């Protein structure tokens, strides 16, 4: 069975995709950026603030699916500038509270709404 996940605690999808899908005991989360779920506006203009908001959004989607940050098995971090990696990493480590899922990080030319970071995840239920 495949189930779509929707929550008002994270920004609504801004395109033809779902916040997450559940299938075969896993949650597949779409990339989250630093949007405020209530206003739809970008939160922050630094990599630290944007990373924290993106992860808050991601964790809200995981919670809605019945999972949590401690059940994440893989993340992908997309950065506008790889020079932001170190500062993003500090926030990421703090937000994951020492839990260390597998991860890939890439620099990309442009992200939605010209944000500095986008983070997606796969988690166990």
**Residue 33 buriedness (CB in 10 A; 0-12 / 13-18 / 19+):** buried
pLDDT digits (tens, 9 = 90+) for 11-62: 998 789 999 999 999 999 999 999 999 999 999 999 999 999 999 999 999 9
Q: Please identify which residue in the block is written with the tokens 């992908």.
A: 76
- What pTM did the predictor assign? 0.96
Which CATH code of 3.10.290.20, 3.30.1330.40, 3.40.50.970, 3.30.1490.20 fits the domain covering 2-124?
3.30.1330.40
In the chain, where are the structural domains located?
Answer: 2-124
Beta carbons within 8 Å of 100's beta carbon, 6+ residues apart: none
pLDDT digits (tens, 9 = 90+) for 80-110: 999 999 999 999 999 999 899 999 999 999 9
């Amino acid at each position: 069975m495949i189930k779509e996940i929707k929550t008002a605690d994270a920004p609504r999808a801004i395109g033809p995709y779902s916040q997450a899908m559940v299938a075969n005991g896993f949650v597949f989360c779409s990339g989250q950026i630093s949007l405020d779920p209530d206003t739809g506006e970008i939160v922050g203009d630094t990599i630290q603030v944007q990373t924290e908001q993106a992860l808050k959004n991601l964790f809200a989607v995981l919670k809605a699916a019945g999972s949590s940050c401690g059940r994440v098995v893989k993340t992908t971090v997309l950065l506008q500038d790889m020079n932001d990696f170190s500062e993003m990493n500090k926030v990421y480590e703090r937000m994951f509270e020492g839990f260390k899922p597998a991860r890939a990080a890439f620099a990309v030319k442009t992200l939605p709404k010209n944000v500095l970071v986008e983070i997606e995840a796969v988690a166990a239920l």
